[in-house]
Copies of this chain bind each other. A is one copy, B any other.
Amino acid sequence: MDGIRYRDEDLRGYVVRFMEHFAVPRDEAQIVADVLVEADRRGITSHGVVRLSSYYGDRLRQKLIKPAAQISVVHETETSALLDGGNGLGQVVAHRAMSLCVRKAQSANIAAVAVRNSNHFGIAGYYAMMALEHSMIGVALTNSQPLVAPTFGRSAMVGTNPIAVAVPAGRKMPFVLDMATSTVSIGRIRVYEKTSKSIPLGWAVDSSGTPTSDPGDVLAGGALLPLGGGAETSGYKGYGLAVAVDILAGLLPGASFGSHVGHPTDLGAAGVGHFFLAMQIGAFRKEEDFRADVDALVEELAQAPKGSGQARIYVAGEKEYETAAECKVRGIPLVVEVVRQLAEEGERAGVPFDLRPME
């Protein structure tokens, strides 16, 4: 991606200062910085610092998210826990929850933690990946504000409810699946509208529930389609996955669910729920054998016959690791518009975005 490149530590430092300005304790601000900058570093720019104000800063300022929130354990067993996030920053709450989940899995081999009363937590993959260094498979799910129409419906009733699964490999990079259960994100629709491009049929519907290629129709009362698109191409599967995520991340912890999860612009608590799972590989099989097999599968897929005109087959997470490696050398790129936005929002918040670009 082209753009203005910044040093990783500079960007993190800015996010920390920004959060501290809103009374977020330093160690918690550092978690938020880590999650947001990790998204940019991995090329998932839609979930990076671009959201600093709109998803987090603006809500902290309006006291819709609590800085230094009290996170409490409502119920726990050796293999499970239910946390109340105290309406704190989603990143801080989720980091705490997955840390607890991994700790429980260290002694019980498998553990799950469900969370209620939280907020948008950024990229789900970040928390699934927390399992990797412990030789575990990690799973992270969250519900989100309603943006997706159920199959045969026309209104947004469920969130883009992402599924993240992280799996350690041997010599290869870990497998990291981090996907919304909608076909695309609402941000993608906005980009197409801004540039007056039509969207592929199957991404979204207009306000009558009819698939449309006009992004304006989607934003004017339409909704995203679940993964798979319309019913003919099995969109009910993506819809089913979105509901399954809502059940585990929303209903199991007693969080908000379905159409009741708050939008970042809503004036009440969002009531977001999460679900985390961690499993030790050694509980099933010798770890090095498993890691060697992950390598073998990844290699086999990379070597598989390519489609006409295609140069490469990827596995989930591969592109992101390569982008991160490039960012390590060249810095993290932000597009000009995002830099302008950060400058504007920093000014307004009283935390000037004064970072020097690299080179």
Contacts and interface: CB of A to CB of B under 8 A. Distances in A.
A114 B210 CA distance: 42
A257 to B, nearest CB: 6
Interface in A26-42: none
A300 B259 contact: yes
Contact of A285 (B75, B246, B297): B75
B79 A108 contact: yes
A255 to B, nearest CB: 10
A356 interface: no
A237 interface: yes
Contacts of A253: 284-285
B284 A109 contact: no
Contacts of A151: 313-314
Given A150-B313, A175-B247, A284-B75, A233 B305 contact: no
Interface in A249-279: 250-254, 257-259, 279
Contacts of A152: 306-307, 310, 312-314
Interface stretch (A4-12, A176-184, A341-349): A176-184
Contact of A153 (B82, B240, B297, B307): B307
Contacts of A184: 234
B297 A247 contact: yes
Interface stretch (A48-56, A89-97, A198-206, A327-335): A198-206
A72 to B, nearest CB: 14
Contacts of A281: 252
B229 A77 contact: no
Given A165-B244, A202-B229, A234-B183, A150 B304 contact: yes
Contact of A112 (B234, B241, B279, B293): B279
Interface string A134-172: 000100000000000111111101100001010100000
B238 A227 contact: yes
A210 B307 contact: yes
A326 interface: no
Identify whether the interface residues of A are mostly helix, strand, loop, or mixed.
mixed
List the number of copies, as a whole number: 2
A205 B309 CA distance: 14
Nearest to A311: B152
A294 B254 CA distance: 10
Given A154-B306, A257-B293, A307-B205, A316 B252 contact: no
Contacts of A205: 307
Nearest to A248: B137
Given A233-B203, A306-B152, A313-B153, A252 B300 contact: no
Contacts of A108: 78-79, 108
Find the residue from A183, A232, A243 having the highest chain B CB count within 10 A: A243
Nearest to A299: B258
A305 B154 CA distance: 6
Given A108-B79, A313-B150, A258 B202 contact: no
A144 to B, nearest CB: 15
B285 A252 contact: yes
A230 to B, nearest CB: 9
A-B pairs with lowest CB-CB distance, top 4 = A209-B307, A80-B283, A240-B316, A152-B310
